[in-house]
Amino acid sequence: MVEAVLNTARDKMAKTCSVYERDMQSIRAGRANPQVLDRITVDYYGTPTPIQQVGNISVPEARLMVITPWEPKMITPIEKAIQTSDLGLNPSNDGKVIRLVFPELNEERRKDLTKQASRAAEEAKVAVRAIRRDAMEQIKKMKKNSEITEDDQRDAEEDLQKITDKAIKDVDGIYAAKEKEIMEV
C-alpha cells in the first residue's frame, strides 16, 4: 500500500525531471541544435504540424542549421513560423532550403538565458515538492485510517524524502549542465 504511494511519487517526479530536461534542450545556447525547433509548428494544409514533419533538418556547421522542406511551397510558412517564434533567429532562403544562422551570444543574452533556465529549474522543484506533499498527505491518511503503524509512517516519510532529494538533485544537475553550456564561449 505504502509502496504504491512511493512508486507513484517516484514516477511523477521522474516525469517532472524529464519535462524540465526537454525544456532545457529547447533553450538556444549559441549552437545550432535541431531541438530548438521542437515547439514550433507550421500550418500544413490547415493543420499545425511540427517543423520536423514537413522537412529535413541538418546541422552542417556548429552555428548553422539547414531546413530542407519536402515541398518547396512550405518555405514561406516555415520562415514565418520561425520569425514569429521566441527564438530570435532570422531565417534566410535560396528557394530550396532555409538557413538559420545562430549568432554568437553576447554576455547579456547569456545571463538572460541562465535566468530563464534557473526559473524553469525552480518551477520543476516546486512541482517535485507538490508531488511530495500529496504523497505525504496520502501516507498520513493511511495512518489516520489505521492502515499502517506509526513506524511504517515514519519509514515511508523518510523514503519519500530520499526520493524527493534525488529528484531535486537531478533538476540541479540538469540546470548546472545547461548553465555551463550557455556560459561557454
pLDDT digits (tens, 9 = 90+) for 136-170: 999 999 888 888 888 888 999 999 999 999 999 99
Confidence of residue 108 (pLDDT cuts 50, 70, 90): confident
pLDDT digits (tens, 9 = 90+) for 59-95: 888 778 899 998 888 888 888 888 887 777 788 888 8
Per-residue burial over 136-165, b = 16 or more CB atoms within 10 Å of its CB, e = otherwise: bebbeebbeeeebeeeebeebbebbeebbe
Instruction: Choose the most confident range, by mean pLDDT, from 24-38, 62-76, 78-92, 119-133.
Output: 119-133
Number of domains making up the chain: 2
Are 87 and 147 part of one and the same domain?
no
Kind of pairing between the strands at 47-50 and 41-44: antiparallel
Q: Among the three residues 101, 132, 156, which one is the final residue of a domain in this structure?
A: 101
Question: For cell 556548429, what's the residue?
Answer: 62
Q: Among the three residues 64, 80, 101, which one is the final residue of a domain in this structure?
A: 101
Tell me the chain's radius of gyration from C-alpha atoms: 22
Q: What range does the domain containing 45 cover?
A: 34-101
Q: What is the pLDDT of residue 185?
A: 59
Residue 180, pLDDT > 80, answer: yes
Rounded to whole angstroms, the Cα distance separating 158 from 161 reads: 5
